[in-house]
Each structure stands twice: as structure tokens, then as C-alpha cells.
Structure 1
Amino acid sequence: MLNSNLLRKLDMQDLMVFVAVYEQSSVTEVSETLCVSQSTVSYCLKKLRTSFEDELFIHTRNAMWPTSKATRMYSHVVNIIKNINLCHSGVNVFDPTEKEITFNICAPEYFELLILPDLLKSFIKSNLPIIVNTHKFHKDVPVEQLVDGRIDLVICAGPNFHRDAKPFKSKILLDDDLVCVVDKHFTPPENRFNLDTFVARQHIFPTPWTSDTNMVDGWLGKQGYTRQIVARANSYVAALEMLSGTDLVLMLPRRLQKRICDETKFAFCKPPAGLPSFTIDMLWDRKAEQNTANTWLREQIAKVCA
């Protein structure tokens, strides 16, 4: 039985709209994806809000942000739709305990340092025969490999960093921002940099993926500033080793700084005001929506990031 008579008014289209708005954060994109009008999407959202007695999605200037209740609901609603599809198709649900399976994920070092260790621990704890092969993320999204299934998932920076990501389904896994990491003996006054003191220092630039540009230098250029990069490292960990005992500056994602920095050796400082933040996004091909193993993997990654 249903907890509330209000839930009787819902139909499958309402649930599909809920999932699509959660994943795409845009009424316009949802209407295009589901091939319905924007007024239909708005009507479904109104029914959902009434039925679940919550705003569910909050309008902001750039996106529709889910409330805490919508975030808790998301995985359950996805499972409802998945189970309805299984009832129709008769396809067996993926069981990770049945046999060994290998997943191929194209991802930057950020994923290997921050997300993959906890993901593997969860597999080991549950005694699951899962193998994860990580492929280095280069300049562009590996479109062909993602479409033909050689790559199961792509993890990349966002939002909207990669134009070739648009044809794929996506989900934001994490929000993050950059902090300045320095040797403890060369901490700036008041533990922060302004634009002038930031560019006055020399910098180490980690290159965990190939790119012609980067967020820091792109932003500095808009302010009319440049910085001097004296070394480029292939990894964040190698860059930290170069930093020790010098007055150089290394820009690190805040979540990584907490994970890999030795606080007895390094200090972190606030960057110049206005430096933009970023997201870590997960991409998959639309055909993978019907692949229960792929769906299961995405759920496990989302749980770790939560």
C-alpha cells in the first residue's frame, strides 16, 4: 500500500522527469531528451512536488539544484524505472557475486587518488570478483571507445570543460575548488595570496591529463596576469616532492590536498579571490542505460562520492 493517496496521481513519465531533471539540471535539456514540451516537464514537476511534499528542485541562475529529499530519492526512483524495464524485457539483473568482471574506466589521476581506493575497498569488503582497469585521460573524451563499449565510463572535469561530452549521459560526482599548497617554511602572510603575491611566486604545474589550457592560467589571463611555471610534473604526488624545501607554489584540488598532503611539511593557503571552482563528472553512453552491470558500477561510484 502507498503511504499517501497523493502518490496515486503519479505516473511513469513523472518519475522519468524526476530522474532527468536530477541528472541534467535543466528543464530545456529534459524536454529535448524526453521529447516532451517544457510545459509538460513543469507540470510533472508540480505533481512530484505535491506528491512528495517537497520542493525537490530549486531554481538557480544556472541550474535546477536538488533538495536533500530529492537526493535521497534519486537512487530509489532510478531503481523503480530499472525494475519496470526488467519486468518488460525479462533481462536478468547484474549480480556482482556471480563471476569475475572487468570494468574499464578512463579517468584522470584525481579519480585514482581520491575515489578508486575507496571503491576497491568496498569491493574487497564484499568479496566481489571485480577488476578495475584505469585508462589515462588525455586531452579529449574517448568518444569511439565509450560508444563501442571498450570504455565503460569516463571521469572528467566539468562543468562544460569538454565539448565532446555533450552526446553522453552525465552525472556530477563531486564539487571541488583549488587551494595553494606551499612548503611550511614559505607560507605567505595571513595564509593567503592576492593576485600580485600569487604571480610573484614561481609555480609547479601538475599535468594529470593532457590539455592545451588549464583553469588557473585561463582565469589569470582574463585578469591580465600570467604566472611563471618552472616545472611540470606528470602527477600530483611528484609535484609535491618538487615543492619540498622551496618557495614554489602548487595548485591542488582541495579534496586531494586533504588526502595526500603531509601537514607536517606543507601548508595550504587561500588562492586569489575569484578563482573558479570545478566539478568531477561521470560520463556514459546512452546505450549503457540498458546494461545492468554498467548501471551497478555507476551506483557504486556514486555511493563512494556521496
Structure 2
Amino acid sequence: MLNSNLLRKLDMQDLMVFVAVYEQSSVTEVSETLCVSQSTVSYCLKKLRTSFEDELFIHTRNAMWPTSKATSMYSHVVNIIKNINLCHSGINVFDPTEKEIIFNICAPEYFELLILPDLLKSFIKSHLPIIVNTHKFHKDVPVEQLVDGRIDLVICAGPNFHRDAKPFKSKILLDDDLVCVVDKHFTPPENKFNLDTFVARQHIFPTPWTSDTNMVDGWLGKQGYTRQIVARANSYVAALEMISGTDLVLMLPRRLQRRICDETKFAFCKPPSGLPSFTIDMLWDRKAEQNSANTWLREQIAKVCA
């Protein structure tokens, strides 16, 4: 039985709209994906909000952000749609307890430091025979490997950093911004940098993936500034060791800074005003939508990030 009579007014289209808005964060894109009008999408959202007594999605300038209730609902609604499809097709659902399976994920160091440890802990806690192989993300999305299945998922920076990501399905996992990390003995006045004091310092540049450009230097160039990079590290952890005992500056994602920085040795400071933020996105091939193992893996990663 249903907990509320309001739920009786929902239909499958409402649930499909919920999932599509959660994954695509845009009413326009959802209307195109589901081949319905934007007014239909808005009507479905109104019904969903009334039925679940929650805003579910908050309008921002660039996207529709899910509320905590929408985030907790997402996997359940996906399972409802999946189970309805199973009733129609009879396809077997992936069971992670049945046998050992290897997943190949192409991802930067950010994923290995912040997301993968918690993902593995969840597998271990549930006694699942899952093996995760990570492949280093280089300059471009590994299109061929993603299409032919050698790579199950790609984790990369966004939004819209990689033009070759457009043919693939995508989901924003996290949003993040950069902070300046310095040795505690060389903290700037008022614990922040402006453009002039920022470029006056020398910098360490971590290169967890290969790229001709980076967000910081691209943004500085638009302001008419450049910075001096005295060394490039292969990892965030190595870069931290390089700034210890010096007045060098290291730019780190805020979430990583909280995870890997020893607060007895390092301080974090505000960067110059206007430095853009970024997202961490998950990409997969459209054919993987029919692969229940791939779908299951994406759900587990989304749960960790939520």
C-alpha cells in the first residue's frame, strides 16, 4: 500500500522526468531527451514536488541542483524504472555477490585520493568480490577504449573541459574549487592572496593528468597575469612535500586539501577573487546503459559522492 494518496497521482513519465532532471540538471535537455515539451517537464516536476512534499530540485543560474531528499530518492527511483523494464524484458540484473568482476576506470589522482578509498570500503564491508583497476587520465578522453568496453567509466574535470566527451552520457559527481596551500610559516597577511601577491610567489604545479593548459594559468592569462612555476610534480602528495619549509604556493582542490593536508604543517588561504570553480564528471558510453554491471557501478560511485 502507498503511504500517501498523493503518490497515486504519479505515473512512469513523472519518475522518468525525475531521473532525467537529476542526471542532466537541465529542463531543456530533459525535454529533448524524453521528447516532451518543457511545459510537460515542469508539470511533472510540480506533481513530484507535491507528492513527495519537497522542492526536490533548486533552480540556480546554471543548473537544477537536487535537494538532499532528491539525492536519497534517486537510486530508489532508478530501481523502480529498472524493475519495470525487467518486468517487460526479463533481463537478468547484475548481482555483485555472484562472482568476481573487474571494473576499469580511467581517472585522475583526484578520484584515487578522494572517491576510490570510500568506494573500496563499501565493497569490503559488503564482502563483494569487486576489483577496480584505475588507468591514468591523460590529456584526452580515451574515446576508443570507452566505446569498445576496455574502459567502463571515465572520471574527468568539468564542466565542458573536454570536447571529446560530448558523445557520451555524463553525470556531475562533485563540485569543487581551488585553495592556496602554503607552509604554515609563510602564511600571507589576512590568510588570503590578491592577484599581485599571488603571482609574486613562486608555485609548484601538480600534474596528476597531462594537459597543455590548466584552469589557473588560463584564468591568470585572461587577467593579464602570469605566475612562475618552479617545479612540476607527478602527484598532489609529492607537491605538498615540495612546499614544506618554503614560501612556495600549491593550488589544491578544496576537498583534497581537507583529505590529505596535515594542518600542523600547512595552512590554506583564499585564492585571488574570481578564480573559477570546477566539477568532477563521470562519463560512460550509451551502450553501457544496457549493461546492468556498469549501471550498478555508476550507482555505487554516485552514492559515495552523495
* TM-superposed deviation, 1:17: 0.8
The answer for the alignment partner of 2:116 in structure 1 is: 116
* TM-superposed deviation, 1:39: 2.2
Q: Which moved more, 1:153-162 or 1:118-127?
A: 118-127
Helix, strand or coil at the partner of 1:36: coil
Show CA shifts across 1:236-279 (max 9, x none): 11111211221111001111112112222221111111111111
* TM-superposed deviation, 1:9: 2.0
State the distance in 2 between where 1:138 and 1:294 align.
Answer: 22
Which runs of no fewer than 5 residues in structure 2 stay unpaired? none
State the distance in 2 between where 1:161 and 1:72 align.
Answer: 29
The answer for the alignment partner of 1:258 in structure 2 is: 258
* TM-superposed deviation, 1:31: 1.3
* TM-superposed deviation, 1:44: 1.7
The answer for the alignment partner of 2:297 in structure 1 is: 297
* TM-superposed deviation, 1:206: 0.6
Show CA shifts across 1:141-198 (max 9, x none): 1122112211111111111211222222222211211111111221111111111100
Show CA shifts across 1:18-61 (max 9, x none): 10011111111111111222222222222222222322222222
Show CA shifts across 1:199-249 (max 9, x none): 000101111111111111111112111111111111111111211221111
* TM-superposed deviation, 1:304: 1.6
Q: Which moved more, 1:57-66 or 1:100-109?
A: 57-66
State the distance in 1 between where 2:241 and 2:225 align.
Answer: 27
The answer for the alignment partner of 2:97 in structure 1 is: 97
Q: Which moved more, 1:129-138 or 1:276-285?
A: 276-285
State the distance in 2 between where 1:75 and 1:123 align.
Answer: 17
State the distance in 1 between where 2:242 and 2:178 align.
Answer: 19
Q: Normalization by structure 2: what TM-score?
A: 0.96
* TM-superposed deviation, 1:137: 0.5
* TM-superposed deviation, 1:106: 0.4
Helix, strand or coil at the partner of 2:105: strand
> Is residue 7 of structure 2 the alignment partner of residue 7 of structure 1?
yes
State the distance in 2 between where 1:41 and 1:167 align.
Answer: 24
State the distance in 2 between where 1:8 and 1:287 align.
Answer: 33
State the distance in 2 between where 1:32 and 1:8 align.
Answer: 27
State the distance in 2 between where 1:286 and 1:125 align.
Answer: 31
* TM-superposed deviation, 1:102: 0.1
* TM-superposed deviation, 1:80: 0.4
State the distance in 2 between where 1:85 and 1:147 align.
Answer: 24
Show CA shifts across 1:49-104 (max 9, x none): 22223222222221112222222211111110111111111112211111110000
Which runs of no fewer than 5 residues in structure 1 stay unpaired? none
State the distance in 1 between where 2:236 and 2:68 align.
Answer: 33
The answer for the alignment partner of 2:236 in structure 1 is: 236
Taking only aligned residues, the RMSD between alpha carbons, in angstroms, comes to 1.3
Helix, strand or coil at the partner of 1:180: strand
The answer for the alignment partner of 1:146 in structure 2 is: 146
State the distance in 2 between where 1:92 and 1:203 align.
Answer: 53
State the distance in 1 between where 2:166 and 2:50 align.
Answer: 32
* TM-superposed deviation, 1:3: 1.8
Alignment of 1:1-306 (within 5 A): 1-306=1-306
Q: Which moved more, 1:62-71 or 1:211-220?
A: 62-71
* TM-superposed deviation, 1:139: 1.0
State the distance in 2 between where 1:51 and 1:303 align.
Answer: 24
State the distance in 2 between where 1:93 and 1:162 align.
Answer: 32
Percent identical residues: 97
Helix, strand or coil at the partner of 1:110: helix
State the distance in 2 between where 1:69 and 1:123 align.
Answer: 24
Q: Normalization by structure 1: what TM-score?
A: 0.96
* Number of matched pairs: 306
Show CA shifts across 1:107-147 (max 9, x none): 00000111111211221222211110101111111122112
State the distance in 1 between where 2:146 and 2:91 align.
Answer: 22
